[in-house]
């Protein structure tokens, strides 16, 4: 498996507005894209060759599950871009690492997430971008 780069780090936050304020006004980063779904809001900030993804979960039960009770934020996943997702999945399977489901395809990339309990306690998002979309 050949890693290309860290694509982004996903951080679950209690308040997207408060977290954005620190990245924008404290660190001088600018949001490069937003994502809004019925279950979450997210904002991506470019930092060098990678991004920081801030995620606010809207459903209270899901928020408590993914963020934890009484927490303001936590790193949820590290996204790694690979050259060949199929080869990466084969290498991971050989190590006993399981994914949360089959690859998901979007216009931006094809991706899977590892089950943290099989990947050293860390959830990794493994993604392959079309050649034209790679940074």
pLDDT tens track for 55-75: 999 999 999 888 888 888 999
- pTM to 2 decimal places: 0.83
Selected residue with higher pLDDT from 1 and 23? 23
CATH number given to 3-133: 3.10.180.10
Helix (H) or strand (E) holding 67: helix 60-67
Parse the chain into domains and list their residue ranges.
3-133
CB-based burial of residue 97 (10 Å sphere; 0-12 exposed, 13-18 middle, 19+ buried)?
middle
CA-CA-CA-CA torsion sign (74, 7, 97, 111): positive
- pLDDT of 132: 47
Facing residues of 126 across strands? 80, 112
CB-based burial of residue 34 (10 Å sphere; 0-12 exposed, 13-18 middle, 19+ buried)?
exposed
């Amino acid at each position: 498996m050949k890693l290309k780069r860290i694509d982004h780090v996903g951080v679950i936050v209690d308040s997207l507005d408060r977290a954005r304020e620190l990245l924008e006004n404290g660190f001088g980063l600018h949001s490069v894209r937003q994502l809004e779904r019925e279950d979450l809001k997210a904002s991506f900030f470019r930092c060098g060759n990678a991004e920081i993804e801030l995620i606010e979960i809207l459903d209270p039960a899901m928020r408590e599950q993914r963020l934890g009770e009484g927490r303001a934020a936590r790193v949820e996943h590290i996204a790694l871009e690979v050259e060949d997702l199929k080869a990466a999945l084969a290498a991971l399977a050989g190590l006993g690492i399981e994914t949360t489901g089959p690859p998901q395809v979007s216009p931006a990339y094809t991706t899977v997430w590892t089950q943290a309990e099989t990947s050293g306690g860390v959830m990794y998002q493994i993604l392959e971008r079309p050649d034209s979309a790679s940074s």
